[in-house]
Amino acid sequence: MQEKQRTEIATLGEFGLIRHLTEHIELKNESTRYGVGDDAAVLSYPNSEVLITTDLLMEGVHFDLTYVPLKHLGYKSAMVNISDIYAMNGTPRQMTVSLALSKRFCIEDMEEFYEGLKLACAHHNVDIVGGDTTSSYTGLAISITCIGDAPKDRIVYRNGAKETDLICVSGDLGAAYMGLQLLEREKKVFEGQKEVNPDFSGKEYLLERQLKPEARGDIIKKLAELHIKPTSMMDISDGLSSELMHICSQSNTGCRIYEERIPLDYQTAVMAEELNMNVTTCALNGGEDYELLFTVPLADNEKVSQMENVRVIGYITKPELGLALITRDGQEFELKAQGWNPLKQ
């Protein structure tokens, strides 16, 4: 196997590295007046509200480079921020990227990271307009800010759910969590071995959901086409039950969701059985699906049922009725937020 070329970051320096990684970026949005190359980017939003979201990803907390390729990490880092803009019913436009790097990383590593980052941004027409790099003593830290826009009357918050609204989710749930379990299991199996050849056949979808999630801009586009404005919306990053609790808490409501309506992929169910885990628990609490959870008025039932990849899983109730999951055999269980908590170390 040919050894990969390795160029130390110090050979370019901070500004040289940023220039090297961003010099061929073409700007796509009219709102981007000026991108990378000055003290600040220049943006113009004359007729829209501006949306801003920031995520900080730390090596060892949010990702493990033992099994996450840098290109996939770049892609996912961009996607989790883009997803937040869609969750407000907005359009992502610009992004800034800041990195803290230890000496273990070289220029070729950062080229790989940026390849994934640029691929995600190209897919969603987002301009990379700036950022920063610095040194780190503890591995890799990634801070990304995504900027988007939306007409004032189209922005959707978490606090607008009303009694009788339908609760909808896009895609399927639990697959990203199962992908993580699979990668962690294989990591333990091959720990300390030089030759690592895990067999992932039949589990490709789970790996893709964990390593290369997709922000659901297609769902936002379809909602607009059908003239549906959700009453509340979030993306599912920490788990369905956790996100539902946020919506109900901020909207001062309760909810009922039905176990049999929660969308699951076949590979998720098979993997859960293999690991002796409850698949519904994985779907409720797994997180990192980056699907959209939203509520719509009952009057939109017919429209929402036309949407591919969207499932009505329950409805919003009075707050005093609490938050409950109705199981397949008709039992009622209180929903608890057992999703991932990065501060619980």
Q: Is the pLDDT score of 342 beyond 60?
A: no
The C-alpha atoms of residue 6 and residue 108 are separated, in whole angstroms, by: 6
In this structure, which long-range contacts are made by residues 7-14, counting pairs with CB atoms below 8 Å and at least 24 apart in sequence?
A: 7/106, 7/107, 7/108, 8/106, 8/107, 9/101, 9/105, 9/106, 9/107, 9/110, 11/107, 12/107, 14/133, 14/134
Summarised one tens digit per residue, pLDDT across range 146-187 is 999 999 999 999 999 999 999 999 999 999 999 999 999 888
Q: Are strands 127-135 and 91-101 parallel, antiparallel or unpaired?
A: parallel
So what's the pLDDT on residue 174?
Answer: 97
Return mean pLDDT, the chain: 91
9-152, CATH topology level:
60s Ribosomal Protein L30; Chain: A; (3.30.1330)
Whole-model pTM: value is 0.90
Under CATH, what is the fold of the domain 166-334? Answer: Phosphoribosyl-aminoimidazole Synthetase; Chain A, domain 2 (3.90.650)
> Which has more pLDDT, 123 or 197?
123
User: Quick one: pLDDT band at residue 345, thresholds 50, 70, 90?
Assistant: very low
Q: Which residue has the higher pLDDT, 130 or 1?
A: 130
How many CA atoms does the CB half-sphere of 11 hold within 13 Å? 8
Give the chain's largest Cα–Cα span. 65
pLDDT of residue 343: 44
> Of 71-80, 191-200, 230-239, which gets the smallest average pLDDT?
191-200
* pLDDT at 289 (0 to 100): 96
Domain range list for the chain = 9-152, 166-334
